[in-house]
Amino acid sequence: MGKRNSNYRLVKIHRNYTVEETASLLSVHKNTVRIWIKEGLPCIYEKRPMLILGRDLSAFLQARRVKKKRPCKPNQMYCLRCRSPKVPAGNMVDYQPATETLGNLFGICPDCGVGMNRRTSLSKLVQIQEILDITLTEGLQHIVDSN
């Protein structure tokens, strides 16, 4: 029932929500909303039911999302197991084009040994190539192009 990231765009900023309405709107449990209130989500306590202003809820969810972001530098890739940006092992990555302008970088995490991916454009590849050792691989051929 719960989601890892609640979509703040679903919240109407000119509307007030009860705890139950907030939970059903964001597809989370009502206890999750109560935990958010304990973590600092502003609400109106004076009367029952407790009301949460839409603009406060939207701002709270946006702030949570921004706080969780882990931006990567040009020489880093995000490791899902370690949950942090890392420089690939040996500064080596493989580039596989996906389209004419985009492609994927594949590397290995130096700590846990799990594969890491990063989507990048062909124009940024020159900047990354100065830092990392990139092996260019061809994309998979279509069956029409093969013999």
User: In terms of Cα–Cα distance, which of 81, 123, 127, 77 is closest to 102?
Assistant: 123
Q: Per-domain residue ranges for the chain? A: 8-68, 77-136
In angstroms, the CA 105 to CA 101 distance is 13
**Phi, psi (degrees; rounded to nearest 5) at 89:** -60, 130
Is the four-CA dihedral 10, 14, 69, 31 of positive or negative sign?
negative
**Tens digit of pLDDT for each residue in 40-62?**
999 988 778 899 999 999 999 99
pLDDT over threshold 80, residue 142: no
| Rounded CA separation 30/73 (Å) | 38
Instruction: Tell me what the mean pLDDT of segment 68-83 comes to.
Output: 83
The CATH fold of domain 8-68: Arc Repressor Mutant, subunit A (1.10.10)
Q: Residue 130 burial by CB count (10 A; 0-12/13-18/19+): exposed, middle or buried?
A: exposed
- Is the pTM of the predicted complex or chain greater than 0.75? no
